[in-house]
Chain A
Amino acid sequence: MKRALAALLLLAVLAFPLVFTQPFPRHIMIMIFLYGALATAWNILAGYCGQISLGHAVYFGIGAYTSTMLVREAALTPWLGMVAGAALAVAVSQAIGYPVFRLRGHYFAIATIGFGEIVQTLVLNWDWVGGARGLFVPIVRPDSLLNLQFHESKAVYYYIALGLLALALGTTRWIERARRGYYFRAIKEDQDAAASLGVRVAREKHAAIAVSAALTALGGTFWAQYVLFIDPESVFPLALSILICLVAVLGGVGSLWGPLLGAAVLVPLSEGTRVMLGGTGKALDLVIYGALIMIIAVFQPAGLIGLVRRIGRRAAAAATGARRESAA
C-alpha cells in the first residue's frame, strides 16, 4: 500500500513536465527541488549533527562562482565546474569548521553568520570575480547538456534539479543508516557524553560539514546555470542562509523527508503570494510570509512532518479499526 503510493508519487513527479508545459509550474517545481536539496544538505549538519549553521550561503555562492569563473576563464563545462565548486566548498568548510566547531549553541550560529558576512564582503570587493556588478554566464546556443544551458524549455533543468534532490536525499538516507549517522546524532544529543564514549567529535563534525557544503555547492552551480547571472547579493546573502534553514525547520529538522516537505510548502507559498500580491510594490506578500512563519513556529514547532506523521498514525489507526470491525 505504502510502497504503491510512493511509486505513484514518483511517477507523477517524473511525468510532471510532460503534463505541465508552461514555464511557471515547472519553475515552481524546480525551485522546490532546489530548496529541498539545499535544506536537505543543511539538515545533515544541523538536523543530524546538531550544528546550527546560519552561513550556508557561503557554500552556495562558492558553487555558483567557481563554475561560472571556470566557464568564463577556461571554457570548462559546468559539470566539471560543479565538481570543482563542491571541492572548493569542502576545503573552505574545513577551514571555517576548525575555529567555529569549538563554539556551541548561539555562539556557533553567530560565528557562522560572521563568516558569511566576511565572505560576502570579500566577494563584493573582489574585481576579478566581478565585484558588486556580478557575473553573467556566457550564453551558448544551441541548448546542450554539456553546457548545461537550456533556453527553449525548462524540462531538462527540471530533471537535473530532481537529480540533485535525489542525491541529497540519498546521501542523507545513507548517513542515517551508517555508523557515522549514529555518531552524528550522539553529538547532537550530548556532545560531552558522545566524546566520553569515544566518538571523535571534531572529526565527525568536519565530516558532516564537508558533505553538507559539497551538496550545497552543487545547488549553487545549478542556480548559476539556471538564472545565468550571479552577484554577491543573490548568492551570498544572510537571507539565503536563513531561508535554507527556514525551509528545513518548517518541514521538520532531523528527518529525511522534512526539508523537502518544507520546500514543497514554502516555495509555492512565497511564489504564490509574490505573484498575487507582489506587483503592488508594497511588500504585502512578505508581510503574510512573516506572519505565516510565526504561526507555524507557534503551532507546529516540530515542523510539518510532525503533523503529517500524526495524520498518518490516525489514518492507520482508523484503517485497522475498520478492518477489525469488518472482521467482527
Chain B
Amino acid sequence: MGFVYALVAAGLSLIFGLMELVNFAHGEFLMLAMYVAFFAWALAGLDPVVALPVCAAALGGLGWLAYHGLIRRVLGAPMLAQIFATFGLGVFLRNSAHFAFGVDFLTIQDPWLAGRVSVGGLFIGLPQVGAAVAAMGAFLGLYLFLSRSETGLALTATAQDRQAASLMGIDTQRMFALGWVIGGACVGVAGALLAMFFYIYPDVGGPFALLAYVTVALGGFGNVPATLLAGIVVGLVEALAGLLIPPAFKYSVVFGLYLAVVLWRPQGLFGRF
C-alpha cells in the first residue's frame, strides 16, 4: 500500500512544488481513475493492467482541463481562494460521480492478478504485489523524467524559481499545465492499480486523499523523491498499527506520526521550506 500512497501523493507533491497550491480534489481524481478502470473492464473487457495507460491518459487530460478551466484563473488569488477552488472542484466531481454512477460499491471481477503468494510464510495478495511493483516502476519513471529529460528539468527549474525559469525562456504556463497533466497521470496509474483490489464508489477518494496530504507533508512539500519514502513509511505504519492495536485507530496513529515528526522538523522530513 505504501507505494500506492506514494504514487497518489507524488502528483500532489509535484503540483504543490510547482505552484505552492494544494489540490484538495486529489482524492476525487483518484476516484475517477478507479471508475475509468472499472468501465474499461466492464465495457471493453480490459484488465486494469492493460487499462493503465488509458487511466493515466484520461486523468492527465482531466488535470489539463482542471488547470486551464480553473487553476489558471486563481493563480494570483490568495491561498484560501485557491484552497476553495480545488475543494469546490472536489465536491463537484464527487457528487457528479454520485449522480452519474450511483452509490453502489463496484468491484472488478477476476482480474489477471489474483490469488496470493507466500513469501517466507507471509501471505500477500498478488494484486497488492503487482500494484507495489507497478507503482514503484511509475515512480522510477517519474523520477527519471524529472531529473534526466530536458522538459523534466525545465519543470524542476520552474518549481525552484518561477521568475528565474521564465527569464531562461521556459514557458512557465506550459510547465504548470504539464505539472497538472503529470500529477493527473500519476493518480491515474494509482487508481488503476487500486481498482484491482479495492471497492469503487464515489467517496473512495477521501481517506486516500487525507493520507496523501499527510504523506506529502511528512516528506516535505515539493520534494518528489521524499514523497516516495514518506509513502512507504505511512504504508508500513498503517499496516503495523492495524496489527498491533484495534484497526479503527490506525489512521490516528498515522496522523500522530505526522504530528510527532513536524514537532521535531516543522518542514517535514526533507522539506525545503
A52 and B78 CA atoms in complex are apart in Å by: 12
Contact between A287 and B96, CB atoms less than 8 A apart: yes
Question: Any chain A CB within 8 A of the CB of B168?
Answer: no
Question: Any chain A CB within 8 A of the CB of B87?
Answer: yes
Residue interface bits A92-119, CB-to-B below 8 A is 1, else 0: 0000000110111111001101110110
**Residue in A114, A282, A284, A301 with the greatest tally of chain B CB atoms within 10 Å:** A114
Chain B, Cβ-Cβ closest to A105? B79
A111 and B262 CA atoms in complex are apart in Å by: 9
Question: Any chain B CB within 8 A of the CB of A253?
Answer: yes
Question: Any chain B CB within 8 A of the CB of A291?
Answer: yes
**B247 shortest CB reach to chain A, Å:** 11
Question: Any chain B CB within 8 A of the CB of A290?
Answer: yes
Question: Any chain A CB within 8 A of the CB of B169?
Answer: no
**A287 shortest CB reach to chain B, Å:** 5
A297 and B76 CA atoms in complex are apart in Å by: 11
A115 and B254 CA atoms in complex are apart in Å by: 11
List residues of chain B with CB within 8 A of the CB of A245: 80
Contact between B78 and A290, CB atoms less than 8 A apart: no
Contact between A297 and B210, CB atoms less than 8 A apart: no
List residues of chain A with CB within 8 A of the CB of B70: 294, 298
A125 and B246 CA atoms in complex are apart in Å by: 10
Among A103, A110, A111, A290, point to the contact of B90 (Cβ < 8 A). A290
**Contacts A106-B22, A249-B81; A298 near B93 (Cβ below 8 A):** no
Contact between A282 and B98, CB atoms less than 8 A apart: yes
A142 and B263 CA atoms in complex are apart in Å by: 52
A43 and B94 CA atoms in complex are apart in Å by: 28
**Contacts A110-B213, A125-B249, A287-B95; A249 near B84 (Cβ below 8 A):** yes
List residues of chain B with CB within 8 A of the CB of A117: 210, 251-252, 255
List residues of chain A with CB within 8 A of the CB of B91: 286, 289-290, 293
**Contacts A282-B99, A283-B98, A298-B70; A106 near B84 (Cβ below 8 A):** no
Chain B, 110-138, CB within 8 A of any chain A CB: none
Chain B, Cβ-Cβ closest to A238? B210
> Which B residues lie at the A interface, using CB under 8 A?
16, 22, 70, 73-74, 77-85, 87-96, 98-99, 210, 213-214, 217, 221, 246, 248-249, 251-252, 255-256, 258-259, 262-263, 266-268
Q: Nearest 10 pairs between A and B by C-beta?
A: A293-B88, A290-B92, A290-B91, A301-B81, A301-B77, A114-B255, A297-B85, A283-B98, A286-B95, A294-B88
**17 CB < 8 A contacts A-B:** A52-B83, A110-B217, A110-B258, A113-B213, A114-B214, A114-B258, A115-B255, A238-B210, A246-B84, A250-B84, A253-B78, A253-B80, A286-B91, A293-B84, A293-B85, A297-B82, A301-B77
